[in-house]
Amino acid sequence: MSLRSRTAGAVLALAVPFALAAVPADAAPVPEADPFVWTDLTPTYTATADYQYEPFAVTDGYAPLGGCARDTATGEGGAGHHYVNPAQIGSLDPAAPAGLLYEADDDGGRALVGVEWIVRAVPGAAAPTLFGQTFQGPANLDGVGSVYTLHAWIWKDNPRGLFAPWNPTVACA
């Protein structure tokens, strides 16, 4: 059994408890996704499992984009360090998110905490949807322009919801 197969199996075993975790009463959660969305996210887990080791992401075309993103307007949390694969911008394929979200870990490296789909905003066009969720935005993304985004916190629990734009447990150093 390969490392990739063992990792994917472990990920699926861990996904269900995150899906069933309660949201704290003081949080303002994003409307929760259908519990079966975890099945729809299986290709995302499989496709991004190797990127838990950040150098593999860089080798596969993901490049760091700016510093650590945090919500300075409302203080809702952080989104971490974005790594973007330009070839996947516009993809609505669950196995091909354009962005990976990392946060600094205790060892000075980067830990994968989530993924992000990025679609260029076209004037007059509605925001896309994926997994029954409407993308957030439009917002300006450095080096890309006006985009709609959808985050999925599949590698780190988010008390505000699986698809919330910010995660209060993600910190920027």
Is the four-CA dihedral 110, 112, 168, 151 of positive or negative sign? Answer: positive
Query: Domain ranges in the chain?
Result: 3-152
pLDDT of residue 8: 44
Tokens of 33: 């996704």
- What would the mean pLDDT of 88-101 be, rounded to a whole number? 98
* Residue whose structure tokens are 């080791």: 53
Greater pLDDT, 76 or 111: 111
The pLDDT score that the predictor gives to residue 171 is 87
What is the rounded distance in angstroms from the CA atom of residue 38 to the CA atom of residue 131? 9
* pLDDT interval class at 91 (50, 70, 90): very high
User: pTM of the full predicted structure?
Assistant: 0.79
Residue range 4-47, pLDDT digits in tens:
444 444 443 333 333 333 333 444 455 556 778 888 999 999 99
